[in-house]
Amino acid sequence: MFKLPPFARLGVLVLGAGVAVGILATTSSLPVVSSGVSAATPPRSTPTPAPWFDMNVASADLSFKMPRSMPAGAPPIRGLAGILVDLDTGEILWAKQPDLELAPASLTKVLTALVALENFSPDQAVTITSSALGQSSADTLMHLKAGEMLTVQELLEGMLLPSGDDAASAIAVDTVGEARFVAAMNAQVAALGLDEAHFSATAGLDDPGLYASPYDLAVIAAYTYEEFPLFDQIVDSKVIDLPATAEHPAFQLHNLDALLEDYPAAVGIKPGWTGNAGACLIGMAVRGGHRLLAVLMSANYPAKLESRLFDWGFSLDGLPPLLPPAPSPSASPRA
């Protein structure tokens, strides 16, 4: 049975003793010495810490295998790109341009959640500042206000269920700062051995510097799901009620993931949409302990499409379908 390998945390030391672990640059010049006089000691370089210094980045040797020939009989999928993976064997069951780099929209928030869970305790308190807010009214929001105090877990719930862009911003801006957090996101991508993704923000709004392939998103999602049960619990919830406290009002958070309604064996993960990305979805389903994960990008009604992919994927393992047969195309009318 395929299982994600254990990971080692890459400790990154703060600028200090002249040692830095991670991506370091040295910017020093040779000391000026008078003509004919040798320097008493060799010049020392001044190490500059990586922009994500003192943050944890997890490494793992995780990859999916492309078979010599794909299983036959997959349902037709009209999305631009995608992948279906058997997480128990590590084998790709279906793929369509899996290495194509596309706008990932709110699928970005899976990586945001991974970096947050690697670095912050779920009960760590975060005070919301105006610097983290100011999103457009057209954005999906948790509806945070400056001065409120929430835990990291509550912000994750507000980011992953209603896809709150304000929660995604606050979990970076109001902890270590957005630039440092985003740098850790890209360091995390590299530590997982991925090179078809780059992130410029935590929420996923369209930006030329924000892109990812279905394959890379599948690895990020599989790793996060395997390593953090809290993430699994959140994305599998249809509704989470946060009671009012002295620090914040009550929130009722509804999951936007239609896959939880469309496919009985679904355990969620994350949908997304922007004008550039179109509709996209990372989905996961479990039947009898057998786990399948799918990513569809730029696909209309991705939850419906992934439901069909999952039913077909489980049929390869001898499991009966959970969905009624797809309707046959109607015959062309006669003149």
Give me the catalytic one of 163, 213, 298, 307. 163
Strands 57-59 and 197-198 turn out to be: unpaired
Catalytic residue among 3, 34, 69, 109: 109
List, in order, residues 6 or more apart from 232 with CB less than 8 Å away: 225, 267
Nearest to residue 3, comparing CAs of 80, 79, 86?
Answer: 86
Q: What is the DSSP string of 18-85?
A: S---SS-EE---PPP--TT---SS-----EE--TTTT--EEE-----BPPSSPPS-PPP--SSEEEEE
Per DSSP, the three-state class of 8 is strand
Mark whether 106 is an active-site residue: yes
Torsion sign, CA atoms 165, 119, 197, 5: negative
24: its two tokens = 């370091």
Integer angstrom CA distances of residue 294 from 28, 83, 85: 48, 6, 6
Catalytic residue from among 3, 34, 106, 332: 106
Q: What distances in angstroms separate CA 88 from CA 69, 85, 91, 226, 328, one per listed residue?
A: 19, 9, 8, 11, 32
Task: Give yes or no for a contact between 258 and 39, defined as CB atoms under 8 angstroms apart.
Answer: no
Query: Is the separation of the CB atoms in 160 and 112 below 8 Å?
Result: no
- The residues annotated with a catalytic role in the active site are 106, 109, 163
